[in-house]
Structure 1
Amino acid sequence: MSFHHAAAAEPFRKLALSMGFVALAVGVFVAHSTPATGYELSIYSMTPSPVWAALGVALFVSLAVALAPSSIDGWGNRPFALVLGGLVVTIVAGLPIVRGYHFFGHHDALTHFGWARGIADGSISPFSLLYPGIHTVSTFITAVVGIPISHALLLVVLLSTVAFVIFVPLTVGTIAPDPLAVVIAAFGAFLLLPVTTIATFMQPHAMTQTILLFALFVYLLVKYVTADDASGALAFAFALTAAAAVVYHPQYVAHVLVVCLAICAMQFLFPRIPFVSRTAVVRRMAGHRRLYGMTAFLIGAFAFWSANHGFFSGFVERAFSSALAYLLTGSGEAGASITAQGGSLAAIGASLGEIFFKLFFPHLVVTALATVLVLAVLLTGRPHRYPDVPAVTLYLAAGLFGLGALFVVYFVSVTNEMYFRVFGLMMVFGVILGSLALHEAILSLSARLSSRSVRTVAVAVLAVLLVLSLATVFASPYVYSQSQHVSQAQMHGYETSFESAEDGVDFAGFGAAPNRYADAIYAAETRTGAHATITPETFDEGPAEFYGTDRYLVVSQLDYDREVGAYQGLHYSEGDFDSIESHSDVDRVHANGEVTTYRVRA
C-alpha cells in the first residue's frame, strides 16, 4: 500500500476503531445484564448471541486495523487496536465474572477455594501449604476490595491471564523491536494457548495461573540476558519474580530450572566449541549477560521452600521410577488412558481426531511456525534482521528441548496427567517463537508480493485461529465436556446436605464431588477423602446393595447435564437418574432445584 493510500485510510481506521469500542461496550452491557440464573452447561451457548456478535466485531476490527500498514509512523493507530483486542480477550476470559457466576471451577478449584477461605479466616497458615500464591493474593484482594473470596479467586485467574496477554508481546518487542512483531505477538497471546481445558484451566488452578505468569518470567529473562547495561533494578525484578514463582508453585519452578539450566549450558559450551564459536549467532550469544547467577538464586529459593514440604522428592521418585518401569516393561498409563478415551468418544459418534482438531489445531500451527524458525536459525543462522532473534531463538529452543524431555518422562509415568501441564508451559515459548516466525514471513513475503495481500492473508489466518482457540478456553459440550460453573444454589445445596447429615454417615456423588465441596465448605488444610464415588455399578446393583452401609447420595443438575447432555448418556442414561427414587431403600431428604440428596438405608 502506498503512502497516499495509507494516509487516506487513516480516518476509516479511526472510525472502525470507534465502532469496535462501541461494539465491545454493547457486548459487555448485554452480558452483564443477563446473569446466570442457575447452572449452565456451556458458558458459550448460555451467553446471549448478541454478546458474541459484538465481541467478534470488536476483535476483527482490532485485528484488521493492527495489521494494516500505517502512514503516520511505526505505530499509528495500532496501540488503540491492541487495547481493543486485549479488552475483548479479557472479557472472554472474564465471562464468569461479567455474567455473575458465584464461582467457577470444580475438582482442584474447589479445594483451592477452601484453602483461600481458611487463610482468610485464619484457620490455615499459608506457610503450611505447598503453593499458597493464588490463595494469599485472593485473600489480599478480598481484604482490600471487599468482594467475596470466591470472586477474588476468579479475579486472580483473570489477572494472570492479563499478565500473559501483556508480557508475551513485550518479550517479542524486546527481541525484535518492530511494531509489527509486537502486534503479531499480541494476537498470538490472545489465542491463550497454555489453557487446554485438559490439565490447564481458566479457573482457580495454581499451576495454570503460574504458567500464565511464566510470560512475565520469560520477559525478564530475555530483558536481563540481552540488556546492554547491567541494571540492578532488572536483576532485582528477576530475582523477585523467581522467588514469587516458588511460592506460586514450586513444581513449576522445577520445570523453569530445567529451562534456565539448559540456557546456562548453552552459554557456557557454545563459545568454547571450535567452529561453532565463530558463528555470528554464538558471537552474539557471547556478548549476552550470563544467566548463572540468577539460576543459582532460583535453585536456592526453590531448595529453601521445598525443604519444608516432602511433596517434591516423592513426586520425582514416583515419576522417574515409573518411567524406568515403562522402559523395562513397556507398560504405561498414558497410552491406556488415550485408548480408553478414544473408545468413549467412538461410542458417542466422535473421535480423537475431531477432539484433537478442536483443541489443538491452533497449537499445531504455532508449533509448526516455531519449528521452522528454530530450524532456520540452526541451519542458516538467520533471520538476522534483528541481531538478538537468532540467539534468543536458540535459548528458547534449548528450554523447549529440556521441557520436551520432561514431557516424555511424564507421558510414560504414572504422573502422566502432568504432561499437558508441561505442554502448557512449552506453549509460552511456542507462541513467542511462532510470532517471530510469522513476523519474518510477512516481511519477507511483502518484499516479493503485495504487502496488502500478504497482510490480508495473515488477518484471515489469525482470525480463524482466534475463533478456534477461544471456542475451547472453557470446557463445553463442543468438546464433549461440561462447564465448570458452580452456582450459588449448588454450593448452598451441598452446605445444607452436610449440615443436616447424620453423624457417621458419609456421602457419595459423581466424580467424588462431595469430597471437593467439603474442601470448599469446611476449609480444611487436609483434603477430604471420606466420601465415595458413584459408578455405573451403583445403578446396576442398587445403591443399598452396592455400598452395603448407610449413605447419602448427592445428585446435582450439573451431574445430570454432564452425563445426559455433554456425554450423551455414555455412562449414565436419563433412566438411570430417574431410577434412583424407585428403590424402596432410597429416600429423598433434601432438594433445592439444583442439588438433590437421598438417604440410602442399607
Structure 2
Amino acid sequence: MTTDTDRTESRGTRRARIALLVGFVALTTAVIAAHRSPARSYELSIYEATPLLFWGGVGVAALIGVVIAVRGPASRRVGQGATLLAGASALSVAALPILRGYYFYGKGDPLSHLGWARMFEVGVLHPAGMRYPAIHTISVQLSSVTGLELRLTMMLTVAVFFLVFLLFVPLCVAAIADTRSAIAVGAVSALLLMPINNLGTHAVAYPTTQAIMFAPVVLYLAMGYASDRGDHRRLVGNVTGVGLLLALSTTAVVLLHPQQAVNLLGAFVLIATLQYLYRRLGRNHPIATHRRLYAQTGLFGLVFLLWSARLERVYEAVAAIASGLLSASQPGGAVASRASSLTLLGGSLEEMFVKLFGVSLVYAVLAAVLAVAVLAGGVGRIDDDGTAYLEYLILTGVPAAGFFVVFLLANAQTQYFRYHGFLMAIVTILGAVALTVGIDRLSDVRGRSVLSVALAVAFVAFLVLQAVAFHPSPYIYQPNSQVTEAEVDGYTTALEHRNESTAFAGIRSGPRRFIDLHYGTTTPAAERISWRRYVVPQGHFRNGTVESAFDDPTYVPVTEADVERETVLYEGFRYNEAGFEQLEQEAEIDRVQANDQFELYLVDPNASVGG
C-alpha cells in the first residue's frame, strides 16, 4: 500500500517537474519575444503593442506556476520552483517597459525624479537637500557600478522594489501561519500587486510606491525583533542583528518617503503601547513576553523628526491639509470630477472601481473576517506568536486608515489613494493568511484536490484582472506612461535654442516635467522659468483660435503622445483633431522645429497674414 502511494507521489512529482520545465520555457520565450519587439514610437497601450507571444507565454507560465504552488506539491523543491515561476511571470509584466526597450517609463513625477537624480549625479544637489532621496541615490549608485544610463537604472530600481515586495510578503505570511501552503499562498497573493492603483500609487519611479513596496520588509523584521530575545545573537550590548536591521529598515523608509514612514511610525507607537498595556495588566498573552519595541520606536521617531522637521515642504503640506479640512470643499472632489469625465467618455465610476479594486475588495473582505476573528479571541491553526503578529498588523493599518479619512475630507486631490496603497500592502498579508488558514482547514476534507484546483483557477483569474490594470492603458482610461527618446530630444532642443523671452504652453499640461528633466528641479535656470505650468486653453484650441489665446509670442510643443492621447483615447474631449490640424493652417502659427514624434509651433498673435 505504501509502495503504491509512493509511486503515485513520484509520478505526480515527475509530472509537476515536466510542467515546470514547460512553464520556464514558455516564460523564456515570452521574454525573448518582448525584447525582440522594442517600441519604435509612442504606444498608447503597452498591452496592445506587446506581441501576443509574450502574453501567451506569460499566461502559460503563470498558470502552471500558480496551479502547482497552490495545490501543494509533494516535493519542496517543486513547490519552490512553482513559486519562482509564478513570481518571475508577474515580475516580467511589471518590468515590461524595460523588456520592450522603453527609453523611459513614467510621465509626470518620474521625469522630475530623473531630473533630481541627474542633479545628484553631477553634484549640483546633495541627497540631504531633498525630502526623499533614496531611489535617486540608489539609481545613481547603480548607474555608477554598472555603467548603464541613469534613466535605465532608475527603471531597474523600480523593478527591484517590486521584487522586494514579492519576496517579503510571503515571508510575513509564513511568520504568522506556519503551514505548508503559507509561502505559496503568500507569494501568489503578492503577485497581485494590489497596492498599485494608478491613482495614488503607480508602477513607475514614484517614492510613495517604492516606500509601500518596502513596508513588508519593516513588518517582517519587526515580527522577528518582537519574538527574538537576543540571548544568543547580540552584537554590541543589547543590540542584536535583527534589531540593527530593523533600525536600518525604518531609517530607509524615512528616506524613501516620509509620508509613508508616518504610517509605520504610528503603527510602532500603537504596537509599543499595546505591549505596555499587556505587561501592565499582567495578561497571559505572548505580547506580554515579546521583546519591547520601545527603543526601536523612539529611534524611528527621532530619525523621522531629525530628517523631516528641517524641511519646509513638510510644514506646507500640513498647512494645506488643515486648510482643506477647514474649507467647505466637497470630500473626494477629485474622484467626483473624474467620474463626470468618465461618463462623457462612455465609462462609469462603477466600472473603474471593478477594474481597479475588484480583486482588492475580495482580499479586504478576507482581511476583515480574519481581523474580527483575531479580536474575538484568536484563530485556529495559528499559534500564539502568529496571533500576536496579526494583532500587530491590524494596528499597523490604523494610522493609514485614519490618514485616508483625513486626506479624503481635506479633498487633497488623490493623495488619499496613497494611503489606500499602504493599506492594501497590509490587506495582502492578512488576506493571504486568511486563505492559508482556510486551505489548512480543508486539508482533511474529501475532495480537497478539487477545491485546490478551484482556488488555483481563482488565483489565475485574479492575476489576469490585476495584470490588465497594472500599467496605464485605455482599458482604465489612462494613456501609457511611455516617454520616447524623440520626445526628450525634441524638448531638449527646444529648450536649448528657445528665445528666452518667449514662453511655452503645453497640451493639457505645461512643459514643467521636461524642464525638470533638462535643467534640474531646483536649479536657478529652472526656477527663473515662470511659465512652467502654462497650458493651451482648450476652448481656443477646439475652436481653432489658438492665435488669440495669447497676448505675446508663445511656443506650443506637440508630441505624438499628445495627439494619440487626446484624439484616440479621449476622443477630442478637451483637445480635438481639428485643433491639431488647425496648427498647420493658421498664418499666425509657424512650425519651427520637428522630428518624427515632436513638433514645436510658434504662435505669434501679432503676425500679419501677409508677413
Place the TM-score, normalised by the shorter chain, in its bin.
over 0.9
Normalised by the size of structure 1, how large is the TM-score? 0.94
2:576 corresponds, among 553, 573, 577, to 573
CA contact (8 A) 2:133 2:256 kept: yes
Q: Read off the aligned partner of 2:217 and give its amino acid letter.
A: L
Assess if the C-alpha contact under 8 Å between 1:6 and 1:69 holds in 2: no
User: Is 1:381 paired with 2:378?
Assistant: yes
Gaps of 5+ in 1: none
Q: Aligned partners of 1:600, 1:2: CA distance in 2, in Å?
A: 81
Looking at structure 2, the residues matched to 4 and 441 of structure 1 have their Cα atoms a distance apart, in angstroms, of 29
What is residue 463 of structure 2 aligned with on the other side? 466
Shift of 1:580: 2.0
Partner of 1:285: 287
Give the CA deviation at 1:320: 3.1
User: Counterpart of 1:105?
Assistant: 106
Per the alignment, residue 480 of structure 1 pairs with 477
Check the 8 A contact 2:504/2:510 in 1, yes or no.
no
Report the secondary structure of 1:549's partner residue.
Answer: coil
Task: Give the equivalent residue in structure 2 for 1:197.
Answer: 198
Return the offset for 1:235: 0.4
Counterpart code for 2:53: P
Q: Give the distance between the partners of 2:521 and 2:318, measured in 1 at CA.
A: 26
Deviation of 1:596 (Å):
0.9
> Are positions 1:455 and 2:452 aligned together?
yes
Q: Are the counterparts in 2 of residues 263 and 398 from structure 1 also a CA contact under 8 Å?
A: yes
- Within-5 A mapping of 1:97-176: 97-176=98-177
Per-residue CA deviations over 1:203-237 (Å, capped at 9, x if unaligned) read: 11111111111121111111111235454010000
1: CA distance, partners of 2:344 / 2:30 = 38
Whole-Å separation in 1 of the counterparts to 2:103 and 2:25? 28
Q: CA deviation at 1:541?
A: 7.0
Q: Contact between 1:383 and 1:389, CA under 8 Å: does it hold in 2?
A: no
1:588 to 586, 591, 595: 591
Following superposition, the deviation at residue 78 of structure 1 comes to 0.6
Corresponding position of 1:253 = 261
Residues 1:349 and 1:502: Cα distance change in structure 2 (over 3 Å) = same
Amino acid at match of 2:382: R
Q: 2:45 aligns with which of 35, 42, 54?
A: 42
Q: Which residue of 2 aligns with 1:493?
A: 490
1:265 corresponds to which residue?
Answer: 273
Counterpart CA distance in 2 for 1:3 and 1:467 is 36
Partner of residue 330, structure 2: 332
The answer to whether the 8 A contact 1:318-1:414 is kept is no
Instruction: Give the alignment's Cα RMSD to 1 decimal.
Output: 1.8
Residue 317 (structure 2) aligns with: 315
1:366, 1:133 → 2: CA distance? 30
Q: Which amino acid aligns with 2:82?
A: A
SS of structure 2 residue aligned to 1:553:
strand
Deviation at 1:120, TM superposition (A): 0.7
Task: Describe the superposition over 1:223-265 as per-residue Cα deviations: whole angstroms up to 9, x where unpaired.
Answer: 1112354540100001111112222212221222111112122
Aligned length: 589
TM-score scaled to structure 2, two decimals? Answer: 0.93
Q: After superposition, where does 1:349-388 map in structure 2 within 5 Å?
A: 349-388=346-385
Over 3 Å counting, the alpha-carbon distance change for 1:288 and 1:438 in structure 2 is: same
Change (3 A) 1:162 1:383: same
The percent of aligned pairs where both chains have the same amino acid is 31
Conserved? CA contact 2:505–2:557, under 8 Å = yes
Residue 81 of structure 2 corresponds to: 80
**Would the aligned equivalents of 2:30 and 2:58 in 1 still touch at CA under 8 Å?**
yes
Alpha-carbon distance, 1:6 to partner? 3.4
Q: Is the 8 A contact 1:97 1:154 kept in 2?
A: yes
Task: Decide whether the 8 Å contact of 2:211 with 2:256 is kept in 1.
Answer: yes
Structure 1 Cα separation of the partners of residues 183 and 377 of structure 2: 24
Q: Deviations over 1:57-109 (max 9, x none)?
A: 0111101111223334xx24111111111211221111111111110111110
What does residue 73 of structure 2 align with? 70
How far is 1:406 from its partner? 0.7
CA spacing shift, 1:321–1:97, aligned 2, 3 Å:
same
Instruction: Give yes or no for contact 1:505–1:551 (8 Å, CA) kept in 2.
Output: yes
Query: Whole-Å Cα distance in 1 between the matches of residues 440 and 574 of structure 2?
Result: 52
> For structure 1, which segment, 470-479 or 226-235, has the greater mean C-alpha deviation from structure 2 after superposition?
226-235
The Cα of 1:168 is off from its aligned counterpart by 0.6
Describe the superposition over 1:39-63 as per-residue Cα deviations: whole angstroms up to 9, x where unpaired: 1111111000110000110111101
Q: How far, CA to CA, are the matches of 1:440 and 1:3 in structure 2? A: 27
> What is the deviation of 1:272?
4.3
Task: Choose from 7, 10, 13 the match for 1:10.
Answer: 13
Question: Does the 8 Å CA contact 1:67/1:459 hold for their aligned counterparts?
Answer: yes
Asked if 2 retains the 8 angstrom alpha-carbon contact of 1:477 and 1:565, the reply is: no
Q: Which residue does 1:21 correspond to in 2?
A: 24
Assess if the C-alpha contact under 8 Å between 1:384 and 1:390 holds in 2.
Answer: no
**Cα contact 1:376–1:383 (8 A) shared by 2:** no
In the TM superposition, what is the alpha-carbon distance from 1:4 to its structure 2 partner? Answer: 5.3
Between 1:511-520 and 1:459-468, the stretch displaced more is 511-520
Shift of 1:429: 0.7
Q: Distance in 2 between matches of 1:215 and 1:367?
A: 17
SS in 2 for 1:590: strand
| Paired position in structure 1 for 2:539 | 537
Asked if the contact 2:182–2:433 (Cα under 8 Å) also holds between the matched residues in 1, the reply is yes
1:504 matched to 2:501? The reply is yes
Question: Which moved further from structure 2: 43-52 or 515-524?
Answer: 515-524
